[in-house]
Structure 1
Amino acid sequence: MGGEAYFRKIGRAWKRGYLLHGPPGTGKSSLIAAIAHFTGYDIYDLELTDVKNNSNLRKYLTAISNKAIVVIEDIDCSLDLKKRPGEEGEKKKKKDGGESDDDDDDDDEEDEKKSKVTLSGLLNFTDGLWSSTGSERILIFTTNHIDQLDPALIRSGRMDMHICLSYCAFPAFKVLARTHLDVEDHRLFPRIEELIGEVQVTPAEIAELLIQNRSHETPALESVIAALEAKKKAKLNSSQVD
């Protein structure tokens, strides 16, 4: 029984949650675009820092269509996950005690401009959104720093799958070479395979080099080798300094 049919059978709305994590330039946004193209779902890019408060968040989420993908990129930067529960209380206590200065007033003005969306508000509304029937929705979070996320945000049942998009390995490079240069094999591939195993390079960096030199495969691959060798040299110099 297919996923959607199974969820209908057990009386639950069909929904999926995905967490995409990894360094910048490893393809998180590209994967989201591919999912949207494959499913044909409407895609909503929700920028939490532009949402004033939890009430506004509720309005946005309840207004989305069926068969939708809701994307929150850089979730670790979109919410103040580091704020301790006592901070607001300490701030209020300081004000009540009469201790205030111009810096505090500036902070208050800055706070007024900031989003008041809370982690609990986001979790409550997204969970409530998925509990509504007749909706096929996908929720996608992205982050460059999975270690900074609150466990409540990514627990089982909320995020169905964690997908790590890491640095470019040789098999991924071959896909990029085939896509951009229409090359299945080349005499320079062994050298690239050797170098790519020694340094960290993102698929975005490789793709940019191939696109710039797409008319001629050998110069394109030579530019990749030059970039990888430069990274290797920088890595060696850094280790010698340490």
Structure 2
Amino acid sequence: MPTTATNELKHEIWQILREYEKSRSETVRNQLVQLNFGLVRKEAHYWMNQCHESYEDLLQVGCLGLIRAIERFEISKGHAFSSFAIPYIRGEIQHYLRDKGVTVRIPRRYLALQQQAIGVSRSLRTKYNRPPTDSELAAALEISTTEWQEIKLAWVNRAPLSLDVPVQDGEEGSTCLGELVPDPHYRSFQLAQEDQFRLQQALVQLENHTREVLECVFLQDLTQKQVAEHLGISVVTVSRRVKKGLDLLKHIMGAADD
């Protein structure tokens, strides 16, 4: 049965990941690339429909992301490897497209669902007296959770973030996104673009409540008071989540440089 085969494959991948963690063998790593190549094919196929790059080029770039994921995966943290690897694969492809100046299109369906989600989210927040989860929003929109997450990612990446966006954290005065970058001595425009990309990817890794606040501040340029009103929470809570989010972003981006 397919389920049995899938479980067997996951078990095999897990065992080989253990072996790679001990040996760091290039041969073992290449074996993991072959076993997980389906993840790359899926992402390459998706992005091929969003740009004019060739499928083969996207596959090659996606494989670089997969290799990075394999090298950075830690079994002790208990994450599913596929869930860990997909952001690396997707991120590598997006980075490649941005470096080439490729304009990524947001499908009309995604735009429509994003607009619909605003009203749905407001209704669910009133119903549950809290922000809805991804699965709750997806169910209300009658789409899968995975598709909703792809819509959110496309929306986040629709425009580059400015490294000069000011952030008031309520306790330590103000900071800006550029201060999150571990190395402050960037001088080339290409590296500045990379920082913007890394910040966007780091935002996606945050838990829903924290990310929602940061997206309101960074992407929608709302004040903390406006964010509080928009989300139905206190200004103090917004301030705490901004501070928590900044700390998490520094940790995520710092870990990515290890």
Q: Please state which band the TM-score falls in when normalised by the shorter chain.
A: under 0.3
**TM-score w.r.t. structure 2 length?**
0.20
Answer 1 or 2: higher relative contact order, Cα 8 Å, separation at least 6. 1
Whichever of the two has the greater Rg, that structure is 1
Identify the structure with the greater strand proportion. Answer: 1
Larger relative helix fraction: 2
TM-score normalised over the length of structure 1? 0.21
